[in-house]
Amino acid sequence: MDPTSSGLSFEVRATSGHARAGVLHTRHGDLLTPAFQPVATQSSVKALTAEDVHDTGARIVIMNTYHLWLRPGPELVAEQGGLHAFSHWPHVITTDSGGFQAFSLGEFVKLSEQGFAFKSHLDGKKLLLTPEEAMRVQGLLGSDIAMQLDVCPKGGSPRPELAEAVDRTLRWGERCLAAKAKQQALFGIVQGGTDIELRLRHAEEIAKQPFDGIALGGFSVGEPIADMYRVLSELGPAVDPRRPHYLMGVGTPEDIVRAIGWGVDLFDCVMPTRNARNGQVFVNDGRIVIKNSRYRNDPLPLDPDCGCFTCRKGYSRSYLRHLYVAQELTIFRLLSLHNLWFYAELVARARSAIERGQFAEWQTATLERFRRGAPNEGEGSPAVLPRASDESL
């Protein structure tokens, strides 16, 4: 894609099987891929400053068009210099289109060819989100990467409903391309549920359009994980290899390791920060539920081999458990810093394995370590929380 028009171009520098190590060139710096995007719904990653997020290794975040449209409003953000200046985040910013929020509001949304009609969850005001409005809002917000407005059907939807969502998303993609800001990159979104024929057809049609990247949407919306993996294993390698591939709203560390092997370059998910606020942290040999009594007298850091602020400064599991049980607000920052570092390290290690031409070996060893190391924490420990790309839902 021409960087002089959208500000974005992509190059693949190494491959290992279907896995790719690339560079996404943007107006706000070069992003090494694979990359994970922390979710900054309201232009802030919960409990963290922009500087905190930078220190975890992240160089890209995703913000929420729907929520910023309602509050504080895109005009105000534009007056303040756009999201980069407004949020103090100097690196790459993605904004979603609002389609996932329309999906999550369910029965309160009326879908038509024009767009999504619904009432604001803040004050009940009637709103209409069209492809043109989604592009207008994202243009004012000034993100580096905008997402087209799409229709995200629920997991298990019948084929006619999936086909209708694909066709409408295609038509809306054309409208988004016509309405987008010139300086902004735009990604098309592939829908189709777990119907691989629909998915492949949609991906082929999107590849004919001048999108800067291709996103895989409509996953982790109620379908069995095995079905998601089956579709991604066929779809990922079939997507146009000239453009970056973005898997939206997914997922667990295992999801990410598997999807990189199917050619995915970009990810986002609330899991590292949402799970942190619920006391669950990811470590190299499994996971820790910090409230459990086994950590009451534990002097070790969360992970002795971790380089995050929380571990590097020596905060003990015992102290962190105390903060969590006492519900001291500091715990949300300390655990979120750790989890985001873990995710950033995970994709960095995947990239290194790709560059060495050893991704398959690394993937097998990493997945086996996850399998062996996942402990039964017991004591009412939370299950892995529902996947979503929006911290406010």
- 144 φ, ψ to 5°? -75, -40
Beta bridge partners, 300, equal none
Has 167 been annotated as catalytic?
no
Out of 96, 144, 212, 303, pick the active-site residue.
96
Among 316, 343, 344, 327, residue whose Cα is nearest residue 279? 327
Kindly list the distances between the CA atom of residue 62 and the CA atoms of 246, 248, 391, in Å, as whole numbers in the listed order: 12, 10, 11
Are 185 and 1 spatial neighbours (Cβ–Cβ below 8 Å)? Answer: yes
d(CA 292, CA 325): 9
- Report the run of H or E that residue 37 belongs to, with start and end: strand 35-37
| DSSP of 253-303 | HHHHHHHHTTT--EEE-SHHHHHHHTTEEEETTEEEETTSGGGTT--S-S-
d(CA 47, CA 91): 19
* Residue 295 falls in which region: left (phi positive, over 0), alpha (psi -120 to 50) or beta: alpha
Using a 10 angstrom Cβ sphere, with 0-12 exposed, 13-18 middle and 19 or more buried, the burial of residue 124 is exposed
Angle between helices 330-355 and 317-325 (to 10 degrees): 130
Instruction: Using DSSP bridges, classify how beta strands 9-16 and 126-129 pair: parallel, antiparallel or unpaired.
Output: unpaired
d(CA 59, CA 357): 24
Instruction: Using DSSP bridges, classify how beta strands 145-147 and 92-95 pair: parallel, antiparallel or unpaired.
Output: parallel
Out of 195, 268, 303, 390, pick the active-site residue.
268
- Report the run of H or E that residue 19 belongs to, with start and end: strand 19-26
d(CA 283, CA 286): 5
Has 227 been annotated as catalytic?
no
Kindly list the catalytic residues: 96, 268
